[in-house]
Structure 1
Amino acid sequence: MTEFAKALPSSFLFSMSSFLIGFIVRPFGSLFLGAVADRKNRLEGLRLSVCLIGVSSCLVCLVPDSSHWTYYILRIIQGFALGGCYPILSVIIYEAAPSTHRGLYTGLFQTSVPAGYLFALAVTIISKLLIGESQFLQQGWRTAFVYSALIFPIWWQLHRLLRNVEFHDQPEISRWDFIKLKDWTIQEKKCAVYALLMATALGSIAIMGVNIKGFFLKSMLQLDPLTANHVIAYSTIFYAPTYALWGSLADRVGPRKVCKAGLIAGVVLILPLFKLFEVVASEGHILAFSLPWFYIFIVSIGISMIATACFGPFVVLVCNLVHHEHRCTLYGLSYNLATGIVGGTAYLVSFWIYEKYQSMYGGIAYVILVAAAFGVAATIYRNKNPQHFEAVIK
């Protein structure tokens, strides 16, 4: 999306609109598709999500340009489908894993996010080398979406595998109806509120450490795009396994403790770490694998490790809170409200503050304030309702 946006002869807000709209509709997708997975069948919800993602992504290749209405429709469908696909798969991994290693297994699954980013980055770089950057920005970006067709053979193999998996918490609901709050117990409703508050806090830090980091290096510090991509790619290889590391730790000490530690570390350390980016980048042009490059590389890993500590064990935290009839819905809604609404608006807030006040750290401060405020609210809410949480939250 970032590369595509460069080709548009329009304002930043216009070029970001198609990106943001995909984020904004994700919570709606998690409500509908999560309800299908919860109330009917896990694989049914996942099948519908994968089909929507695959078809809409492939059709992007055929749109005339990004200003055409069909492009926005396809972006809405993509966001809607992704709002259900990733959370449903996370819950499936949680339920299929041994009860004593759910943090480890779900953490291993979450390495698929940085792996997907590396694959997309490789496709972009190779395409530019083959046809040139100018041609890529004009028409070559379409080739990247052709790879979306790979989702269908992957899904076919995954579906065969999942049909033979024995779930430890197999849903027993065979009827289909939409999410009904009256079916939730008082404890589950209290836990749902807590999960939404914590998701917003943790997701803010997670978005900062995984997504906004690259935006800050390229757009705010004006770091050479190739150098920035090298830093992000290599640091991604190093931080990706920490999802499993924090998940394994959560199996031992409890997911809430790990998430809380990551949240505190993020609120306290994220801004100073981003400031280190500026200090190192102020030396001017940075060569790949030079000493300043390694400084940025190490700081990048540190920021991302804080992010993975926040969100790595979160699926276990949420799934421990509620009955299996509501897991996909609650986790999907929590995850997508955090990464979608807060994460999506963080880009706009960052650029708006930079344009108005010439401050590179406005967006970072916004995310930290959101994380701190919702983290405190979640803690207060939990302390006021201890009887609903003591048995389920560790």
Structure 2
Amino acid sequence: MATVEAGEARTRQSPAFVIGASSLGTIFEWYDFYLYGLLATIISAQFFSGVNDTTAFILALAAFAAGFAVRPFGAILFGRIGDLVGRKNTFLVTMGIMGLSTFLVGLLPSYASIGVAAPILLVALRLLQGLALGGEYGGAATYVAEHAPEGRRGLYTSFIQTTATLGLFAALLVVIGIRTALGEAEFAAWGWRIPFLISILLLGLSLWIRLQLEESPVFREMKDAGEGSKAPLTEAFARWPNLKLVLIALVGAVAGQAVIWYAGQFYALFFLEKTLKVDGATANILIAIALALATPFFILFGWLSDRIGRKKIILAGCALAALTYFPLFGALTSAANPALAHAQANAPVIVHADPATCSVQFDPIGRTKFDKTGCDVAKSTLAKAGVPYSSEPGGTGEVTVGSRQLEVGDLSTYGKRLGEAVAEAGYPAKADPAAINKPMVVAILFILALYVTMVYGPIAALLVELFPTRIRYTSMSLPYHVGNGWFGGFLPTVAFAMVAATGDIYYGLWYPIVVALMTVIVGLLFLPETFRRRLTD
């Protein structure tokens, strides 16, 4: 009888409505979550203006990452609720938390208005957003997968996989539109708040749509049969057979997927804007075009995973990215800021100093002045100017710019002399808009986004199929959000800190490359293939 009722439940809602309603609500949540990332440069000026520019940007990225840090806790909290009371009601709650938190970011006073309370309140709202997203994704992916017919779960859940990119794309369009209408000065002063404030309208619309949905038929069948879990956390994480699957899913699939996702979309955007000094509006437009071109491939790879399997597509994407990131980002530099690429090639900058005399160029409280040694002055000047450099031991902070060597001399004038030297060597203050090879930039960004579709398109179906219905929401949500919240979410912060510490603009790429290769190895050895499994087995 329960099976008949579940079958009837499937017919009451068309697949298109289930996918559309679930996806649209999730798009709005991703829109809310990623607005912050798109506006990180402006937010660093608004909320972290008490420190130097490099530190402010890293702190802004750290606040961005704070939302990711708590996602696993949201997964545990809302995953348990979802396995106990149902998928639908749980992601209604998470949506409400997300929408209200985003709206309030648009109302926050700046650092200039209320001082240190501003970044504290900002981080608090980011934490609420992270908790909400930790509960949302697992619910939406599980809900759609449990409505999908056998042999089509990859295709059905791939629409959920497009939501993160579509949410980012929607945020990009809103930001570009408002930025263009107001101009850069007005947008930076107050216009950046508008995308956050209009999220309250999206919240109302998405809640109304989600209220039309019924509970998942697979979950209803399980509850009618009295087979639901009374302790999903215990079953998911305190029993080794399931915990082992959770760990394999994390290290052998999600960690690599996460770093490829964030490197291919957010890190690429930050790299364009912060490192290559492409103006924010242009960087947003170029990323938006690449995402628009790549988004259909989520569906393609989801569909393909129903034919040939999830595992091989995900691991192939990780391997391709790890092998090609260095040449792709090098090509991106040449295409987006050819003057910088030319200066690097013809007048490389080298700092000669005993490492013991050099400080790490990071100042979280804004009170450190890097002016006590030649090395500190040199690296501080180069970091502030965004000039890439390498370091060699020996010396007291002398800098070689191409064939010219600058002696330290008077520390009070050393920074100015060095700034003039790198400018004379051709290092640009910003990318020349007329010199940007836009088709080539879009092509490179498209390749980076294509890797994202390979690793991300099939991942929801794989995670859903790994775990039993009674603890599915809890079990799949934790590895997904540890992977994407910690391995992926901290990628921009860690990578830019690595760049700031070394002066090498490509050094941060080692982080996603190493994690992706780890996933390839562990996934090949331990990750099971799932595409022929039945959800009710």
Q: TM-score, normalising length from structure 1?
A: 0.89
Contact 1:218 1:224 (8 Å CA) reproduced: yes
Identify the match of residue 189 of structure 1 among 243, 250, 257.
Answer: 243
Which 10-residue stretch deviates more, 30-39 or 12-21?
A: 12-21
Contact 2:176 2:281 (8 Å CA) reproduced: no
Matched position secondary structure for 1:223: coil
Q: Distance in 1 between matches of 2:433 and 2:285?
A: 10
- The answer as to 2:299 corresponding to 1:299 is no
Distance 1:54 1:96, change over 3 A: same
Q: Distance in 2 between matches of 1:358 and 1:201?
A: 26
Distance 1:227 1:336, change over 3 A: same
Distance 1:65 1:334, change over 3 A: same
Identify the match of residue 474 of structure 2 among 329, 344, 355.
Answer: 329
Deviation digits for residues 52-110 of structure 1, max 9, x if unmatched?
11222222233223642333222111111011112211111111122211111111222
Q: Distance in 2 between matches of 1:6 and 1:28?
A: 30
Identify the match of residue 134 of structure 1 among 185, 193, 196.
Answer: 185
Contact 1:87 1:331 (8 Å CA) reproduced: yes
- The answer as to 2:396 corresponding to 1:357 is no
Distance 1:392 1:145, change over 3 A: same
Q: Distance in 2 between matches of 1:192 and 1:317?
A: 12
Identify the match of residue 111 of structure 1 among 138, 162, 169.
Answer: 162
Deviation digits for residues 293-334 of structure 1, max 9, x if unmatched?
111111111111112101210111111111012222222222
Q: Which has the larger radius of gyration?
A: 2
Q: Distance in 2 between matches of 1:276 and 1:342?
A: 25
Q: Distance in 1 between matches of 2:289 and 2:220?
A: 38
State the partner residue of 2:512.
Answer: 367
Q: CA deviation at 1:243?
A: 0.6
Q: Distance in 1 between matches of 2:498 and 2:436?
A: 31
Letter in 2 for 1:229: N
Q: CA deviation at 1:171?
A: 4.4
Identify the match of residue 144 of structure 1 among 195, 198, 207.
Answer: 195
- The answer as to 2:86 corresponding to 1:41 is yes
Which 10-residue stretch deviates more, 220-229 or 34-43?
A: 220-229
Contact 2:84 2:228 (8 Å CA) reproduced: yes
Contact 1:273 1:299 (8 Å CA) reproduced: yes
State the partner residue of 2:418.
Answer: none
Q: Distance in 2 between matches of 1:360 and 1:183?
A: 40
- The answer as to 2:142 corresponding to 1:91 is yes
Matched position secondary structure for 1:100: coil
Q: CA deviation at 1:359?
A: 0.8
Matched position secondary structure for 2:469: coil
Distance 1:92 1:286, change over 3 A: farther
Q: Distance in 1 between matches of 2:319 and 2:91?
A: 34
Higher helix share: 1
Q: Distance in 1 between matches of 2:456 and 2:236?
A: 29
Contact 1:38 1:171 (8 Å CA) reproduced: no
- The answer as to 2:58 corresponding to 1:4 is no
Q: CA deviation at 1:14?
A: 2.9
Q: CA deviation at 1:159?
A: 2.1
Q: Distance in 2 between matches of 1:74 and 1:184?
A: 31
Contact 2:294 2:449 (8 Å CA) reproduced: yes
Contact 1:286 1:293 (8 Å CA) reproduced: no
State the partner residue of 1:157.
Answer: 209
State the partner residue of 1:22.
Answer: 67
Letter in 1 for 2:149: P
Matched position secondary structure for 2:504: coil
Which 10-residue stretch deviates more, 363-372 or 65-74?
A: 65-74
State the partner residue of 2:334.
Answer: 279
Letter in 1 for 2:59: F
Matched position secondary structure for 1:179: helix
Distance 1:131 1:45, change over 3 A: same
Q: Distance in 2 between matches of 1:123 and 1:391?
A: 41
Deviation digits for residues 101-125 of structure 1, max 9, x if unmatched?
1111111222222221122122222
Contact 2:313 2:455 (8 Å CA) reproduced: yes
Q: CA deviation at 1:178?
A: 5.7
Contact 2:232 2:474 (8 Å CA) reproduced: no
Q: TM-score, normalising length from structure 2?
A: 0.67
Considering only aligned residues, what root-mean-square deviation do their CA atoms show, in Å? 2.7
Letter in 2 for 1:17: A
Identify the match of residue 236 of structure 1 among 291, 297, 307.
Answer: 291
